[in-house]
Amino acid sequence: MTELQPFRYTRRHVAHATRIMDLTEVTAISPRTGSEQIYTRLESPEWVNVVPITPAHDLILVRQWRHGTREFTLEIPGGLVDAGESPAVAAAREVREETGFAGDAVTELGVVESNPAIFNNRTHTYLMENCRLVGDLQQDDGEDIEVVRLPLSDVPGLVRDGVIAHSLVICGFWWLALRRPDLLRLV
């Protein structure tokens, strides 16, 4: 078996810049064939997801409209890591802004590549325990969030039944089950 070599990039062009990501075109040369191709890439800051749990082992979720699927989704809180901010700080901030809850310091559960075929970033998943309501939501102008509190033990059924279908959220529950099986068992 031959050892794979990385592609060599010769050009990067931002086709469209937005607040949350840039659509770029990169020109790369294949190390195997020497051919030059243009690839589409979405460049975004790191993302965070948080599994917030109350002392009673209730899970704090957010229900919100998603423009990609044009449907309401049930998710764990999450969002972008702001410039100069650590993922852990972003995680705690997102929980507070999207749910009005706060808790213990966040613990990283794991990191995944958001979608390495087209995205340059990673998603960091955190656990926040002992969450309690500390204030009102602090939503962005484009957000309209409903906070949902459910027993953590409901998660396997919600995923199985397609009520929770967001891939990065399901991945967050996988990380939780791997790192803290005392809190969540998937089977």
- Domain ranges (residues) in the chain: 8-43, 47-179
What residue ranges of the chain have pLDDT lower than 70?
A: 1
Asked if 41 contacts 24 with a C-beta cutoff of 8 angstroms, the reply is yes
**Tokens for 101?**
């809850």
At 108, phi and psi to the nearest 5? -70, 130
Cβ–Cβ < 8 Å for 128, 52: yes
Helix ranges (H only) for 40-86 are: none
pLDDT at 21: 96
Q: Side chain identity at 124, as an amino acid letter?
A: H
Which of the following CATH numbers is that of domain 47-179: 3.40.50.980, 3.90.79.10, 3.40.50.300, 3.40.50.740?
Answer: 3.90.79.10
The residues that bridge with 129 in the sheet, in sequence order, are: none
Q: pTM of the predicted model, to two decimals?
A: 0.93
Distance CA 139, CA 99 (A): 9
Residue 44 CB: number of other CB atoms within 10 A? 16
pLDDT of residue 142: 84
